[in-house]
Structure 1
Amino acid sequence: MQEATTRFATENGQKYLTQLCKHFAHKIDVAQTGDRGELMFSCGTGFLEADADGLHIRVRSPDDANLADTKSVVEDHLLRFAFRENTGPLQWQATG
């Protein structure tokens, strides 16, 4: 399994976590409990955790190609929802 993490600094981490989970729940399996969410895509899984300073994102996929797809779909939607924050692309770090 391949994994990567990133952090989106914002005062609206919980808002974006909820928005992402609600959006994707129409298309894929999603689990959300409080400040944590799990997005189960066919290409991999996204794990979200909100706190007062932002949204921590970890993605896991079986290989590099699927990892890239999982990162892309989570990042694209988050940046679309957070368009007022004028942030650039997320800075992902490989784990493991």
Structure 2
Amino acid sequence: MSISVARVPTLSASRYLQQLAKHWSHKMQVSFTAEEGTILFPDGSKLAMRADSDTLDIVLTVPEDGDVARMQDVVASHLDRFAFREAPLTFDWRDG
């Protein structure tokens, strides 16, 4: 498994977390509250998010045979769509 983490500065972290979770809930297994969310992808990847007042913390776990860069891009591009007023958001992806 490959783990990537990012801290995304935004004052709308909770809103973006909930929008992303709702958006993907019709395709994937999703659980979320205003502060935390988890999304399980069909390929075995997992996205965990935690919102606080000024950041959205992201932990992305991708199976060994998965494409980490592609999954990071999928997550970032979807969040940027919801954050169109302040996009592009800053994703400081690093190994977890």
Q: Same fold (TM over 0.5)?
A: yes
For 1:34 and 1:89, locate their aligned partners in 2 and report how far apart those are by CA, in whole Å.
Answer: 21
Using the TM superposition, give the Cα deviation of residue 8 of structure 1 relative to its aligned residue in structure 2, in angstroms.
Answer: 1.3
Instruction: Label 1:88 to 1:35 Cα distance change in 2 as closer, same or farther (>3 A).
Output: closer
Conserved 8 A contact 1:41-1:70: no
For 1:64 and 1:53, locate their aligned partners in 2 and report how far apart those are by CA, in whole Å.
Answer: 34
Using the TM superposition, give the Cα deviation of residue 54 of structure 1 relative to its aligned residue in structure 2, in angstroms.
Answer: 1.6
SS at match of 2:95: strand
Conserved 8 A contact 1:36-1:49: yes
Query: Which structure 2 residue ranges, 5 or more long, are not aligned?
Result: none
**Stretches (4+) displaced over 3 A:** none
2:67 aligned partner, one-letter code? N
Matched, 1:54 2:30: no
For 1:23 and 1:94, locate their aligned partners in 2 and report how far apart those are by CA, in whole Å.
Answer: 26
Instruction: Label 1:79 to 1:33 Cα distance change in 2 as closer, same or farther (>3 A).
Output: same
SS at match of 2:58: strand
For 1:4 and 1:11, locate their aligned partners in 2 and report how far apart those are by CA, in whole Å.
Answer: 22
How many matched pairs?
95
For 2:87 and 2:16, locate their aligned partners in 1 and report how far apart those are by CA, in whole Å.
Answer: 15
- Which residue matches 2:74? 73
- Which residue matches 2:12? 12
TM-score by length of 2: 0.88
Using the TM superposition, give the Cα deviation of residue 69 of structure 1 relative to its aligned residue in structure 2, in angstroms.
Answer: 2.9
For 1:40 and 1:10, locate their aligned partners in 2 and report how far apart those are by CA, in whole Å.
Answer: 24
Most deviating of 9-18 and 86-95: 86-95
Identity %: 36
**Root-mean-square deviation over aligned CA pairs:** 1.6
